Amino acid sequence: MPNPDTPTPEAVAELFAHMRIDDQGPRECIAFLAEELGELAKAVRTGELPAIAEEIGDVGILLHRIALLHGIDVDEAVRAKADLRRARYDAERAGG
């Protein structure tokens, strides 16, 4: 079930254009993501919640851009992975 708070593709495209990442391919976005992950790590070390939230936002935006470039729905990918991990965990607990 789609999340009603999920931005429309048009809103996402406008955000990417505003951030000047609308013309970047996957490799450029991965490099930018690595930079933002470093900034997130620094924010976590300082413990400043506003900075942590800001950097999580940057990471999320870049993940969405990479997913969009590959035709992947981020929410569905996370749900599918969570289901897979849950099934593995349940199998391990059951001794399988």
Predicted pLDDT of residue 48:
97
Res. 85: pLDDT tops 60: yes
Q: Cα 64 from chain centroid?
A: 5
* Tokens describing residue 51: 């900075």
Question: DSSP assignment of 23-35, as one string?
Answer: T--HHHHHHHHHH
CB atoms within 10 A of CB 66: 19
pLDDT reported for residue 17: 83
Residue 2: predicted pLDDT: 55
pLDDT of residue 82: 95
pLDDT band at 92 (very low <50, low <70, confident <90, very high): confident
